[in-house]
């Protein structure tokens, strides 16, 4: 269907503009509008954007799903979930209350279309509805399609969007597609999916989302390194002993047993979330803040990681599965007792690995990565351990004796950073103690908490792909873990379950660092 383009407002002169002003007029379509991701993260993020004044008056939100419901029922269900998050206060969406004025602004712009995402007729109806919004609401023919669905629908939805002409850009209009993870389940499937969506969309139209990259601390890594002469000169193998990246959760698999049985902790977290944190930390400085320049450096870094290989005598990675225990004072069942999980499952809920980067900046510096379910604390952080002083001038005091220098970047919760260093304890004799200088975004900038999706959705509407993964970034990550996936597929783990829910993880993870004379930072 040919659509009439409406005149855009003053803020739309540059489709690639960035900043805090409202985005260009657009219609956003969420496929999977009745699902948990939409309820828990995407719509709460849109609400936060409304509160911040970053959505245009001509914004419209269209939900599309197989579940039969009215627009009013969709709106009320979303509001109920957000209010539940406010009461519980333990999710990604943090707010003291739902402001009725801001919610009504968003709800008044929401419509719901019931349809089978495998039915071409669904897309024809969607096209008609969106063209109507162009005429009545002034959305300008600009469209953002958000694939908040199971990964098996990614390819078919993009195919149908292309066949219906919904991805075609003309007369200054933009059409962007956000694709959630998992982007493939291994290297072969990721390459196949890239080829499939690339046959319909230009790479600049594809936004592979990783919500970790929307966190303020992650975005600030480059600022920390490149805007401060204090850090960049020492950001290398000469001054850094090792790096620990942790993504620990205090939840189990919850209602995702069927998904987790096919995925496991390695696929779920390492080649996407954790590798993106690794890339931001270790990549070379880009020549500019241009999106492709930054993603070029990420790809260079990911390609320089030595692939993980399984060696029973000297493992580069270990896996774990949680047993029953107690998490945050509440009893927790073992993984094999979770709904939709096999009673003899060998799927890992924890993984730790030792990464080696073969380039001049990082040669010989180990990067330790760990992620897991039902651990002692919810914590995502990047901890950089600097080398000890080469010589102690204090009699009887070793340079490394309890005086470790750490720079810790906290991704969640309580986004911020701290520096740990040695200081003299008060008294007539020299006794050293570790002290910490701490910075919290919330306290210093009085910034409102977000889900991590706000910045990413806003950037996508502005055509800024800096924080999104490019096809080669995705494939480079899978190449690192593919040998390990192949090896683990052919070997049964020993002793599962091997860590108690609420603990710091399996003993084998501690042994992985002990080989180098190192130890994990405690989670609590």
Q: What is the pLDDT of residues 82-136, one digit of tens each?
A: 888 776 655 666 667 788 999 999 999 999 999 999 999 999 999 999 999 999 9
Q: What is the pLDDT of residues 378-393, one digit of tens each?
A: 999 999 999 987 766 6
The SS3 call for residue 49 is helix
Distance CA 28, CA 25 (A): 10
Domain-located, residue 520: no
CATH number at residue 388: 3.30.360.10
Q: Phi and psi dihedrals of 418, rounded to 5? A: -145, 155
What percent of the chain is modeled with pLDDT above 70? 91
Domain-located, residue 205: no
Task: Output the pLDDT for position 370.
Answer: 98
Distance CA 299, CA 469 (A): 10
Q: Which residues are catalytic?
A: 273
Q: Give the list of residues 6+ apart from residue 442 with CB closer than 8 angstroms, or none.
A: 414, 415, 416, 449
Domain's final residue, options 155, 180, 205: 180
Same domain flag for 140 and 59: yes
Q: How confident is the model at residue 5 (pLDDT cuts 50, 70, 90)?
A: very low
The SS3 call for residue 318 is strand
Q: What is the pLDDT of residues 335-354, one digit of tens each?
A: 999 999 999 999 999 999 99
Whether the Cβ atoms of residue 282 and residue 308 lie closer than 8 Å to each other: no
Whether the Cβ atoms of residue 113 and residue 125 lie closer than 8 Å to each other: yes
Of the candidate ranges 153-157, 410-414, 427-431, the one whose mean pLDDT is the lowest = 427-431
Per-residue b or e along 13-25, where b marks 16 or more CB atoms closer than 10 Å to that residue's CB: eeeeeeeeebbbb
Same domain flag for 226 and 156: no
Same domain flag for 112 and 238: no
Task: Output the pLDDT for position 445.
Answer: 78
Distance CA 288, CA 333 (A): 49
For the chain, the domain total comes to 2
| pLDDT exceeds cutoff 50 at 9 | no
Residue with tokens 């075609």: 168
Task: Output the pLDDT for position 90.
Answer: 58
Domain that holds residue 435: 213-514
Q: How confident is the model at residue 212 (pLDDT cuts 50, 70, 90)?
A: confident
- Reference 142, options 9, 273, 320; nearest CA is 9
Distance CA 184, CA 168 (A): 25
Same domain flag for 15 and 120: yes
- Mean pLDDT score of the chain: 89
- Reference 384, options 366, 372, 402; nearest CA is 366
How far are the Cα atoms of 282, 283, 307 from residue 362, in angstroms, in the given order? 8, 10, 15
Task: Output the pLDDT for position 139.
Answer: 94
Distance CA 182, CA 143 (A): 23
Distance CA 505, CA 489 (A): 22
Same domain flag for 378 and 430: yes
What does the CA dihedral 437, 438, 439, 442 come to, rounded to 10 degrees? -160
Task: Output the pLDDT for position 335.
Answer: 97
The SS3 call for residue 148 is coil
Same domain flag for 139 and 224: no
Task: Output the pLDDT for position 1.
Answer: 52
- Reference 154, options 99, 201, 115, 223; nearest CA is 201
Domain-located, residue 175: yes
The arithmetic mean of pLDDT across residues 174-200, rounded, is 95
Domain-located, residue 427: yes
Higher pLDDT, 43 or 413: 43
CATH number at residue 62: 3.40.50.720
Same domain flag for 143 and 218: no
Per-residue b or e along 437-451, where b marks 16 or more CB atoms closer than 10 Å to that residue's CB: eeeebeeeeeeebbb
Q: What is the pLDDT of residues 138-163, one digit of tens each?
A: 999 999 999 999 899 999 999 999 99
Domain-located, residue 379: yes
Same domain flag for 24 and 99: yes
Domain-located, residue 202: no
Domain-located, residue 15: yes
pTM above 0.85, yes or no: yes
Higher pLDDT, 2 or 37: 37
Domain-located, residue 200: no
Domain's final residue, options 139, 156, 180: 180
Task: Output the pLDDT for position 447.
Answer: 65
Same domain flag for 135 and 255: no
- Which DSSP string do the residues of 112-131 spell out, in sequence order? EEE--TT-HHHHHHHHHHHH
The arithmetic mean of pLDDT across residues 481-501, rounded, is 94
The arithmetic mean of pLDDT across residues 157-183, rounded, is 94
Same domain flag for 144 and 255: no
How far are the Cα atoms of 180, 208, 341 from residue 453, in angstroms, in the given order? 11, 12, 30
Same domain flag for 152 and 226: no
| pLDDT exceeds cutoff 70 at 7 | no
Same domain flag for 85 and 217: no
Beta bridge partners of 369: 245, 353
């Amino acid at each position: 269907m040919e659509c009439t383009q409406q005149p855009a407002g003053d803020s739309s002169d540059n489709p690639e503009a960035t900043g805090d002003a409202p985005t260009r007029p657009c219609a956003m379509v969420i496929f999977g509008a009745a699902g948990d991701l939409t309820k828990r993260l995407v719509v709460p993020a849109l609400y936060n954007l409304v509160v911040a004044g970053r959505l245009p008056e001509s914004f419209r939100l269209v939900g599309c799903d197989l579940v039969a419901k009215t627009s009013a029922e969709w709106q009320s269900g979303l509001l109920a979930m957000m209010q539940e998050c406010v009461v519980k206060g333990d999710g990604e969406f943090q707010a003291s209350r739902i402001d009725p004025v801001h919610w009504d602004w968003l709800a008044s712009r929401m419509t719901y279309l019931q349809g089978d995402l495998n039915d071409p007729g669904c897309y024809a109806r969607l096209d008609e509805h969106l063209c109507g919004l162009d005429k009545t609401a002034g959305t300008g023919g600009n469209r953002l399609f958000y694939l908040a669905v199971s990964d098996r629908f990614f390819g078919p939805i993009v195919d149908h969007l292309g066949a219906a002409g919904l991805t075609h850009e003309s007369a200054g209009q933009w059409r962007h597609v956000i694709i959630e993870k998992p982007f493939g389940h291994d290297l072969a499937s990721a390459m196949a999916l890239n080829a499939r969506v690339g046959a319909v969309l230009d790479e600049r139209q594809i936004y592979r989302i990783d919500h970790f990259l929307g966190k303020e601390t992650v975005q600030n890594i480059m600022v920390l390194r490149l805007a401060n002469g204090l850090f960049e000169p020492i950001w290398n193998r000469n001054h850094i002993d090792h790096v620990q990246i942790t993504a620990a959760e205090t939840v189990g698999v919850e209602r995702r047993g069927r998904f987790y049985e096919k995925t496991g902790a390695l696929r779920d977290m390492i080649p996407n979330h954790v590798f993106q944190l690794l890339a931001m930390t270790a990549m070379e400085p880009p020549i500019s803040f241009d999106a492709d320049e930054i993603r070029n450096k990420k790809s260079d870094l990911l390609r320089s990681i030595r692939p993980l290989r399984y060696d029973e005598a000297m493992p580069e990675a270990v896996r774990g599965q949680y047993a029953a225990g107690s998490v945050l004072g509440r009893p927790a069942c073992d993984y094999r007792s979770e709904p939709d999980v096999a009673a003899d499952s060998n799927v890992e809920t924890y993984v730790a690995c030792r990464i080696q980067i073969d380039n001049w900046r990082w040669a010989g510096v180990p990067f330790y990565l760990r992620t897991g379910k039902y651990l002692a604390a919810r914590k995502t952080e990047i901890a950089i351990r600097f080398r000890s002083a080469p010589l102690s001038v204090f009699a009887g005091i070793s340079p490394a004796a309890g005086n470790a220098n750490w720079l810790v970047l906290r991704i969640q919760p309580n986004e911020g950073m701290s520096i740990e260093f040695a200081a003299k304890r008060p008294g007539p004799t020299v006794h050293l103690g570790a002290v910490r200088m701490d910075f919290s975004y919330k306290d210093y900038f009085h910034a409102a908490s977000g889900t991590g999706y706000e910045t990413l959705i806003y950037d996508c509407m502005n055509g800024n792909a800096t924080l999104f993964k490019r096809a080669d970034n995705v494939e480079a990550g899978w190449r690192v873990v593919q040998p390990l996936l192949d090896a683990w597929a052919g070997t049964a783990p020993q002793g599962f379950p091997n860590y108690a829910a609420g603990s710091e993880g399996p003993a084998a993870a501690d042994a992985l660092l002990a080989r180098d004379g190192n130890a994990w930072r405690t989670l609590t």
